[in-house]
Each structure stands twice: as C-alpha cells, then as structure tokens.
Amino acid sequence: TFGTNGSLTAPVGPVAVGFPLAGVDPMNIAIDYSNSSQYGSDFVVTSNRASGYAAGEQTGLSVEKDGMVYANYSNGQRMLQGQVALATFANAGGLKNVSGTAWVESAESGAALIGVPGVGPFGELVAGSLENSNVDLTQQLVGLMEGQRNYQANTKVLTTNKELTQVLFGAI
C-alpha cells in the first residue's frame, strides 16, 4: 500500500518468501520494499522501442588466442561462453598414459598448475590449427634406414638361394 506522498506504507521491512520443494534444501529470500515508491500520474500512451538484439540462431563457435570461446549467431552477435583452461606440470615426462592420446597426472609428474592461455608459463592458442608431431624425426629416419638395410639383406639371401638351387638342379 502506498501513502498520499507516494511512499510505501505496507508491508514494512523485508518480506520473507520461501519455496519449499521436496528433496531440495530450503531457499528463503528476503525482499526489501523499503525504497519502493509509487507516484501517481495521468494516463499516457507511450511507444516502446526495443533495445535488445534481433532473434538469431547459433551458427558456430570461435576460440581466441587468449582461450575465450564465443558463440556466433546469425544476427551478427557474438556472446562469450567461457574460457579454455590449460595445465602444465613440473615433469611432463612423468604423466601416465591412459590411451594413445590421453594422459593423467601421476606422482612423477607432480600436481597440475592450471592457468589461462597467454599468462605466465602458458602459451597462446591458435584456433583451427594442429600441433606438430611429437615424434623424434632422427630416430624415425634411423629406424627407416635399418628397415631398408634388412630388406636389402633379405633380398640378397633370397637371390643367393635361388642361384644355388639352379646350380644344384643343373648338376643333377
């Protein structure tokens, strides 16, 4: 209720509102109406002007180098959805391999240091890119050359075996 000067006369003080729901902790909200007022005026027709965005549907996601993830909409708007977090370890070689491409923290790796891209020891992200291979190219080339040498040796053995067989059959 409002008085003649527009000030609130009732309720006085905060109003407690509760929402009892089964299986949920009680939620009590106190609404303070003490600064509310109502001023009387003549009836006036006004036109409202929208101050929001036109309707739009999500058309994609973009990730910035600082790890910020944005949803892109068909109405031209971009809205921040969150930020990518990165982890580094005191001994990355101590991580435990749980599959071909998944690793977990171990006692040898130490605890994860969590941070955001571009801050402290964390690098920046390059969206839409793949990282370089973590294979030692020198070791792989040495292995390839060993395989080629073994193939050549096996070929020589088969050729010698064929020649000996022909000589043997020729002597009989």
Q: What does the pLDDT look like over 35-70, one tens digit per residue?
A: 776 666 777 888 877 778 888 999 999 999 899 999
Average pLDDT over the chain, rounded to an integer? 84
Residues 6+ apart with CB under 8 A from 80: 68, 69, 70
- 67, with CB counted inside 10 A (0-12, 13-18, 19+), is buried
Spell out the domain ranges in the chain: 1-42, 58-115, 136-172
pLDDT digit string, tens, across residues 62-120: 999 899 999 999 999 999 999 999 999 999 889 999 987 888 999 999 999 999 998 88
Q: Is 30 within 8 Å of 13 (Cβ atoms)?
A: no
Which has the closest alpha carbon to 105: 87, 119, 120, 123? 87
- Predicted confidence (pLDDT) at residue 135 exceeds the cutoff of 70: yes
Instruction: Give which of 86, 40, 87 is closest to 63, Cα–Cα.
Output: 86
pTM, two decimal places? 0.45
